[in-house]
A = this chain, B = another copy of it.
Amino acid sequence: MSTTDSAFAPAEAPDNEDHAALDEDYVLTPQFVEKVVDAADDGDGMRLRSLLEDLHPADVADLMGFLTSEHRAVVVLWLPPELLAETLPELDDGIREEVLERVPHGTLAEALQELDSDDAAAVVEDLEDDQRERVLAAMPDVDRAAIESSLGYDEESAGRLMQREVMAAPQFWSVGDTIDHIRKQGDDLPELFFDIYVVDPLNRPVGGVPISGLLRAPRSAALAELMEPVNEIAVDQDQEEVAYIFEKYHLISAPVVDAAGRLVGQITVDDIVNIIQEENREDILRLAGVADEDRGSSVSEIVRGRVPWLAINLATAALGASVIGLFEGTIQQIVALAVLMPIVSAIGGNAGTQALTVTVRALATRELNSANAMRTFLRELAVGVANGLVLAPLIGVAAGFWFRDEDWRIGLVIGAAMILNLLVAACIGVLTPLTLSKLKFDPAVSSAVFVTATTDFFGFLIFLGLATMVLL
């Protein structure tokens, strides 16, 4: 969704000591952020503008993330309009929404015309309904049509991700024809492109020629001879699948086709890098029970995203507690059990989370499917047993020694409970994400809470149950 910049560096290079907005790793320095904050506090617009105008849009977006909402409001006022336009697609969602509310719709309509159709659409998507109407109304027909067509595709589909500008050439062209065409039509072509798509008379891609291959070939060579098969992306394909295809085959760009197989746009790898990071972010946060949040999220937004998981966990923890309630009599007689029982559940939860995380990751990278699901499951069971055989003696001997004055057999009970609960953990850690995935749910969502609830429940049940049978 963001401007491809190829080899272009920020105008302000990191070794420029005078400004030093960036350190040697191209990360904004806290000192620079401090300078911006001071200028914003002083309302010193001229100083702000001179600090900002040489930044790369990605660095402006980064800067915004480090500022408070109040400081962002001042900075937006002093950003040169073109830089503002190019910064918008780079912002975190929460911050973009906030910034968009502050930009007059005339300014916004002008800014959006500077962007590629996919970037402009990504920004318009975030506008409130009435603001969106006013901004679109203030744009030229051509640009508005391009944005509306992009928004016509499903969110997170290839259609949203693609840019409509592509370099296509008929099969009968030579290398010379193609280069001459590019020289003449340069302005209508994408700003950067990496492959030439060769199309048939119905505009369906039949092959692709990387432009380095075009440059290497003699002018007289026919495109039809140079071309190789291309990976076509369907316009309604999910962005996660598109990312998988790019990653697997190391693609730099790919043609997007409609239901009739006609070329309608292209997707380039720089957009894919963003998608990959987004999907990874989602997986890692969902495993921890965090809904989408970013630096721009307010405390109440964050709480609304996290409290539901904690409340669910409260309910599942209460379920675990009710198991303990069944054994109140046993605990009253041997209080040592109350001391030891959290150990059984903690290790079970940890082992279950390990199996869960490995499985979620393997599903996300398509390394796990029905071809090896059974083998993966059996391997995790073996790991569970092996873990148990290593850990049970440790905790068994320690517990037996700790409570030797009461009943040394408590060590036997906790050791056996540990092995059994680690088996439960392995089972549930693999089966939960596999089942969710089979049912077409996201395997990361709610898995962790369910897994630890199960290992808690069975951990308490097995440990206290065994203790009741053996020790009383």
Most-contacted residue by chain B among A191, A284, A290, A387 (CB, 10 A): A284
Residues in B with CB closer than 8 Å to A245 are 25-26
In angstroms, Cα B179 to Cα A192, docked, is 18
Question: Does A407 count as interface, using CB distance less than 8 angstroms?
Answer: no
List A1-19 residues whose CB lies under 8 Å from chain B: 2-11, 13
Query: Chain B contacts of A190 at CB under 8 A?
Result: 212
* CA gap between A471 and B367 in the complex, in Å: 54
Q: Please state if A248 and B179 are interface contacts (CB–CB under 8 Å).
A: no
With A277-B247, A354-B306, A357-B285 in contact, do A317 and B343 touch (Cβ < 8 Å)?
Answer: yes
* Across-interface contacts of A249 in B (CB, < 8 A): 5, 8-10, 26, 56, 58
Q: Which of A237-273 contact B (CB under 8 A)?
A: 237, 241, 244-255, 269-270, 272-273
Give CA–CA (A324, B324) in the complex, Å: 15
**Which residue on B lies nearest to A247, using beta carbons?**
B273
Q: Are A5 and B250 in contact (CB under 8 A)?
A: yes
Residues of B within 8 A of A382 (CB): 299
The proximity string for A residues 193-207 relative to B, scoring 1 for CB distances below 8 Å and 0 otherwise, is 111010000000000
Which of A6, A25, A300, A320 has most chain B Cβ within 10 Å?
A6
* CB-CB under 8 A for A248 and B285, given A231-B7, A347-B313: no
Q: Give the interface residue-count category, chain A.
A: 35 or more
Report the 7 A-B pairs with minimum CB-CB distance, sorted nearest first: A7-B208, A288-B357, A338-B338, A186-B216, A9-B229, A30-B371, A250-B270
Contact of A283 with B by CB under 8 A: yes
Any B CB within 8 A of the CB of A139: no
Taking CB atoms, residues of chain B closer than 8 Å to A339 are 321-322, 324-325, 328
A351 at interface, CB cutoff 8 A = yes
User: Among residues 310 to 362 in chain A, which have CB atoms less than 8 Å away from a CB atom of chain B?
Assistant: 310-311, 313-314, 317-318, 320-322, 324-325, 328, 331-332, 335-336, 338-343, 345-347, 350-351, 353-354, 356-358, 361-362
Are A357 and B183 CB-contacts (below 8 A) given A3-B250, A302-B379? no
Identify A317's interface contact among B241, B255, B302, B346, CB under 8 A.
Answer: B346
B28 touches A356 (CB 8 A): no
A149 within 8 A of B: no
Can you list 16 A-B pairs with a CB-CB distance of less than 8 A? A6-B194, A6-B208, A8-B228, A8-B230, A13-B229, A183-B218, A189-B216, A190-B212, A276-B276, A287-B357, A299-B379, A303-B390, A306-B383, A314-B343, A314-B394, A320-B342
Interface status of A103 (Cβ within 8 A of chain B): no
